[in-house]
């Protein structure tokens, strides 16, 4: 094949990569992620095959020796090295479907970079590449506006916001480079559109990144400007910009900002921001872990294993801000994430990339001063390039990279590498190793590409089978669909963890239906499959609190299932396994309140009531603001007929908004039935009054309370409560009047 054709294929493949940003296949698990990363992997593997043969045939295209490239390679080497110490090798190497950020997938972005610096050999080439970045990002915004979904085809507004930073700064560069007014107009409109996308995404980290990027851009202009007048103008612009931002923050509470995007964005930068507080708790956990484990500060716990650290040092105060998203698999801060998972070595390698970005950018600027070369930056380009790098770095202090940002960042690195190289001519340093490369390394590389290609195809098939099985659960039930899930599990790709997890979650939400299944043999097969897959997922990481918790719940249900079959031995066996597994889950994340509440339920199965109460009391001590422990104690004391403690804990449960944590209809019916039968109307009155203290206008409870007052002979209270009903809703006036007439008649 000719040199021209090779280059056309490589360049075309790189441009095609940006089309993958719009892939969303509903037939795949986690479609916004898997629909992009897996096709990208396949595309890069095909391109890499052409790339290798191209370099063998035309060695003059071998990438030039570059400190920036070496810095990037050093970082990837540290990622690979971290596999040796990884707590969860599977997570480090393969990652999971929800993120697809394992070393295996990240290596494809390295290949993406290497192919770019091989095939793109002129500023015109890179200008086309960077326009692909801009066009793809603007199309994402257009799609989001059309669908009225700021997440667009990306699926996560944080990732969209990060893309907009690249779009804003690149278009600003093109704006100043262009001489035609109509092109300037197009770029100006594009900048505005990208800004709209950033605002609609409403991500504080990216907004902070934009402000930091603008600040650095102006600051750089001040330092590099030779013209005194221009320097003064730049300094004035920086002062005005800083004063404007400071003023906006100072007056962000003003009513003029109420109900506006700007007002919300400004007010999100506060100590009351839920996301900010949960992030800070996460960072504190990481810091405490490193203090207690100084060796891990050197080597890390393995790429992608941040969850181990977050779990071990989980702070129960987290529940004061968020009670749903309490499991962090990433630090949501690139520096902390890299430090904890790859150690100081990995962090230094990562930071070296940014060091060489600055070196290469300054070199390109100095070249402009020397000979005005095509491979050079003027002061505007230098300032905006460094502003973009700053914006990207700052926003990554509150989030982590994704498919889109890796794609864009590697394009940026390739461009800076090209512009900052001392000379583009290839220094061929590998001919002395030509025999080793051609006879050993190339065949091994091609074999790895082939195996990788097959793995990606199998992963796509597995995900399709998983979604198909998922749909079967909705139509046929978990028991009948278990065979389809079993078939999906046969694909050994390294990424079947999420497929198994899909089955586990569906199974745990369908346990009542499993118990009701008439085909007990088939139901037992489904139960044993759940046990098998939960055990396999837990085996990846014996310290994973979440997988241990899920496994404990599976064991617990298996015990109850066999008890329903009358098999006491198996029931006791699985019950004991559930309690032992939950103890291990608690050991690896001792600050998680729900684990102790589940433990209490398991202890009750063994009639260990005192230990169950102790577990709940300890849960209360971890975070006294949470209603869960009080609600569970209220239910427990109701069952044991300890009335005083029941009322005491139920009141706190209500005050903290815990009604949704109780199986309300059954619980309400049980309480009413018992107290009516025992003629304990005074207790029933207290019970209803507690409910109304939390839900003041609940007409159903008011009606019941009015009736109980009547039956208890307290006609005054009965009348007051009835009148309150008619005040809340006039539709009940006739019923209330009839009840009042009955009261008047009784009083006479």
Look at 188-192, 321-325, 328-332 and tell me which has the smallest mean pLDDT: 321-325
Q: What's the pLDDT tens digit per position in 56-71?
A: 889 888 888 899 999 9
Q: What's the pLDDT tens digit per position in 130-150?
A: 999 999 999 999 999 999 999
Q: What's the pLDDT tens digit per position in 396-438?
A: 999 999 999 999 999 999 999 999 987 765 544 444 556 656 6
Are 21 and 407 in contact, with CB atoms under 8 Å apart? yes
From the list 332, 331, 325, 291, the residue with the least C-alpha distance to 307 is 331
pLDDT band at 745 (very low <50, low <70, confident <90, very high): confident
Q: Average per-residue pLDDT in the chain?
A: 90
- Report the pLDDT averaged over residues 285-293: 91
From the list 265, 249, 257, the residue with the least C-alpha distance to 195 is 265
DSSP three-state, residue 326:
coil
- Helices 204-224 & 379-395 angle (0-180, nearest 10): 150
| pLDDT at site 694 | 81
- Report the pLDDT averaged over residues 637-663: 85
Q: What's the pLDDT tens digit per position in 74-111?
A: 999 999 999 999 999 999 999 999 999 999 999 999 99
Q: What is the DSSP string of 78-125?
A: HHHHHGGG-SSHHHHHT--TTT--SHHHHHHHHHHHHHHHHH--SHHH
Task: Give me the phi and psi of 725, to 5 degrees please.
Answer: -65, -45
Q: Measured on CA atoms in the order 66, 69, 75, 80, is the torsion positive or negative? A: negative
pLDDT at position 736 over 90: no
Measured at the CA of 747, the angle between CA 743 and CA 748, to 5 degrees, comes to: 120
Q: How many CB atoms lie within 10 A of CB 681?
A: 17
- Cα separation, 207 vs 201, whole angstroms: 10
Q: Collect contacts of 445-454 with beta carbons under 8 A, ≥24 apart.
A: 445/48, 445/52, 446/49, 446/52, 449/45, 449/48, 449/49, 452/41, 452/45, 452/104, 453/42, 453/45, 453/46
| pLDDT at site 426 | 53
Q: What's the pLDDT tens digit per position in 386-396?
A: 999 999 999 99
- Report the pLDDT averaged over residues 625-634: 89
| pLDDT at site 381 | 95
What the block records as the tokens of 374 is 């095509």
- Cα separation, 203 vs 199, whole angstroms: 8
Percent of the chain clearing pLDDT 90 (strictly above): 64
From the list 111, 70, 60, 73, the residue with the least C-alpha distance to 424 is 60
3-state helix, strand, coil split of the chain in percent (to 5) is: 80, 0, 20
pLDDT band at 714 (very low <50, low <70, confident <90, very high): confident
Residue 455 has what DSSP assignment?
Answer: H
Measured at the CA of 287, the angle between CA 283 and CA 292, to 5 degrees, comes to: 150
Comparing 300 with 734, the larger pLDDT belongs to: 300
Q: What's the pLDDT tens digit per position in 175-196?
A: 999 989 999 999 999 999 999 9
Task: Give me the phi and psi of 643, to 5 degrees please.
Answer: -60, -45
- Cα separation, 170 vs 137, whole angstroms: 11
Q: How many CB atoms lie within 10 A of CB 737?
A: 12
Are 582 and 595 in contact, with CB atoms under 8 Å apart? yes
| pLDDT at site 727 | 83
| pLDDT at site 428 | 47
Q: Which residue has the tokens 């897959």?
A: 533
| pLDDT at site 363 | 93
Look at 259-268, 319-328, 404-413 and tell me which has the smallest mean pLDDT: 259-268
pTM of the model: 0.91
pLDDT at position 261 over 80: no
- Could you give the count of Cα atoms lying within 13 Å of 579 in the half-sphere of its Cβ? 18
- Report the pLDDT averaged over residues 633-639: 87
Q: What's the pLDDT tens digit per position in 23-41?
A: 999 999 999 999 999 999 9
Q: What torsion, rounded to 10 degrees, do the Cα atoms 446, 447, 449, 450 define?
A: 120
Q: Which residue has the tokens 């109850």?
A: 560
Q: Is 426 left (phi over 0), alpha (psi -120 to 50) or beta?
A: beta
Look at 116-120, 201-205, 682-686 and tell me which has the smallest mean pLDDT: 682-686
pLDDT at position 368 over 80: no
| pLDDT at site 674 | 84
- Could you give the count of Cα atoms lying within 13 Å of 404 in the half-sphere of its Cβ? 31
């Amino acid at each position: 094949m000719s040199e021209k054709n090779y280059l056309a294929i490589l360049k075309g493949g790189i441009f095609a990569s940006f089309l993958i940003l719009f892939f969303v296949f509903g037939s795949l698990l986690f479609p916004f992620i898997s629909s992009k990363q897996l096709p990208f992997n396949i595309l890069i593997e095909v391109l890499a095959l052409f790339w290798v043969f191209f370099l063998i045939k035309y060695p003059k295209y071998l990438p030039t020796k570059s400190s920036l490239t070496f810095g990037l390679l050093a970082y990837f080497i540290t990622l690979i090295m971290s596999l040796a110490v990884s707590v969860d090798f599977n997570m480090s190497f393969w990652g999971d479907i929800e993120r697809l950020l394992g070393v295996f997938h990240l290596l494809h972005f390295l290949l993406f970079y290497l192919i770019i610096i091989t095939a793109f050999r002129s500023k015109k080439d890179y200008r086309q590449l960077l326009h692909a970045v801009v066009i793809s990002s603007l199309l994402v915004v257009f799609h989001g506006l059309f669908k009225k979904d700021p997440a667009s085809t990306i699926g996560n507004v944080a990732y969209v916001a990060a893309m907009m930073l690249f779009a804003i700064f690149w278009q600003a560069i093109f704006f100043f480079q262009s001489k035609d007014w109509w092109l300037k107009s197009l770029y100006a409109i594009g900048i505005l559109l990208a800004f709209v996308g950033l605002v609609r995404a409403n991500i504080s980290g990216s907004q902070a990144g934009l402000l930091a990027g603008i600040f650095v851009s102006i600051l750089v202009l001040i330092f590099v400007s030779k013209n005194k007048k221009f320097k003064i103008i730049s300094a004035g612009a920086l002062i005005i910009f800083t004063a404007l931002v400071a003023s906006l923050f100072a007056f962000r509470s003003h009513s003029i900002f109420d109900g506006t995007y700007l007002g919300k964005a400004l007010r999100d930068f506060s100590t009351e921001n839920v996301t900010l507080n949960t992030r800070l708790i996460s960072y504190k956990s990481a810091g405490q872990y490193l203090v207690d484990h100084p060796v891990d500060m050197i080597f890390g716990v393995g790429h992608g294993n941040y969850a181990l650290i977050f779990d071990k040092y989980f702070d129960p105060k987290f529940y004061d801000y968020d009670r749903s998203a309490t499991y962090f698999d990433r630090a949501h801060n690139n520096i902390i994430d890299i430090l904890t998972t790859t150690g100081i070595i990995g962090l230094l390698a990562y930071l070296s990339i940014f060091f060489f970005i600055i070196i290469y950018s300054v070199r390109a600027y100095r070249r402009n001063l020397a000979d005005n070369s095509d491979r050079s930056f003027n002061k505007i380009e230098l300032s905006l390039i460094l502003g973009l790098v700053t914006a990207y770095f700052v926003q990554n202090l509150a989030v982590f990279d994704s498919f889109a940002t890796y794609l864009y960042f590697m394009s940026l690195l390739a461009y800076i590498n090209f512009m900052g190289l001392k000379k583009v001519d290839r220094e061929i340093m590998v001919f002395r190793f030509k025999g080793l490369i051609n006879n050993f390394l190339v065949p091994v590389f091609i074999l790895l590409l082939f195996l990788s290609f097959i793995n990606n195809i199998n992963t796509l098939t597995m995900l399709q089978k998983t979604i198909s099985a998922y749909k079967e659960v909705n139509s046929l039930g978990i028991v009948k669909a278990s065979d389809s899930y079993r078939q999906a599990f046969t694909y050994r790709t390294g990424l079947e963890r999420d497929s198994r997890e899909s089955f586990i979650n569906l199974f745990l939400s369908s346990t009542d239906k499993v118990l009701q299944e008439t085909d007990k043999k088939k139901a037992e097969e489904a139960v044993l499959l759940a046990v098998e897959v939960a055990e396999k997922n837990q085996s990846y990481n014996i310290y994973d609190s979440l997988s241990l918790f899920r496994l404990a719940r599976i064991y617990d249900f298996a015990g109850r299932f066999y008890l329903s079959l009358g098999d006491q031995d198996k029931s006791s066996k699985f019950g004991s396994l559930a309690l032992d597994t939950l103890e291990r889950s608690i050991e690896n994340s001792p600050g998680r309140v729900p684990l102790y509440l589940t433990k209490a339920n398991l202890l009750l199965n063994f009639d260990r009531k005192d230990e169950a109460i102790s577990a709940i009391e300890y849960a209360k001590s971890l975070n006294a603001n949470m209603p869960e422990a009080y609600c569970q104690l209220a239910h427990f004391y109701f069952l044991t007929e300890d009335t005083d403690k029941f009322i005491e804990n139920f009141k706190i449960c209500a005050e903290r908004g815990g009604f949704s944590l109780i199986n309300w209809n059954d619980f309400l019916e049980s309480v009413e039935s018992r107290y009516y039968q025992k003629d304990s109307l005074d207790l029933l009155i207290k019970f209803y009054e507690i409910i109304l203290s939390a839900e003041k206008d609940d007409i159903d409870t008011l009606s019941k309370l009015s009736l109980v007052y009547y039956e208890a002979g307290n006609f005054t209270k009965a009348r007051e409560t009835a009148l309150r009903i008619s005040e809340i809703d006039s539709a009940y006036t006739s019923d209330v009047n009839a009840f009042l007439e009955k009261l008047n008649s009784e009083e006479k």
